[in-house]
Amino acid sequence: MEDNSKILDRERIQGRVKWFDPVKGFGFIVSDEGGPDILLHANVLRNFGQGSIADGAEIDVEIQRTARGTQAVEIISIRPPESTGPALTEDLSPEMAERIGDLAIEPARIKWFDKGKGFGFANVFGRPEDIFVHIEILRQSGFADLQPGEAVGLRIIEGKRGRMAVQVLSWEAALRDN
């Protein structure tokens, strides 16, 4: 009798996040090549250094096909979903929007984030003030939500109402990019 639970070799694919629910702890990816949805478990996302991911984000993953279906086993990279332009344009000039990648990455922890309200705050290590984090910046950075205490890397500007994030990176990505 054949063992149907045998795991086949890994395969690398590119696709988009169909949806991901951090409360349920899973979501699905649609491969650019088509085929059945690919399970994305929260543990795989956490191993990459994120607790959430935006719907529509582009993702490169290694997958395994099993008798129970196809699942992601390792994330290689995540690119935020297509944007209609920089968020919070009153604070972010077009010149600055083009140079976001030149800003220093500052280590921070999320103080709180309320997806329903569309914003939250973070604290940069060693600094007393709160950093404003808008949900559109979060989405453009490839995240769907943030949890209190979550370690992140922030690129920050001085906005009209104080310091605000213009990019959020997972802590692991911030370490790689710095």
DSSP state at residue 87: S
Over the stretch 58-83, which tens digit does the pLDDT of each residue have? Answer: 999 999 998 888 999 999 998 887 75
DSSP three-state, residue 98: helix
Domain boundary among 79, 103, 122: 79
CATH number at residue 156: 2.40.50.140
| One domain for residues 130 and 170 | yes
- 102 is written with which tokens? 């030149």
pTM above 0.85, yes or no: no
Are 156 and 163 in contact, with CB atoms under 8 Å apart?
yes
Domain count, the chain: 2
SS3 at position 71? strand
Amino acid identity at 160: K
Taking only the tens place, the pLDDT of each residue in 22-51 is 888 899 999 999 989 999 999 999 898 888
Instruction: Report whether 31 contacts 120 (CB < 8 A).
Output: no
pLDDT higher than threshold 50 for residue 88: yes
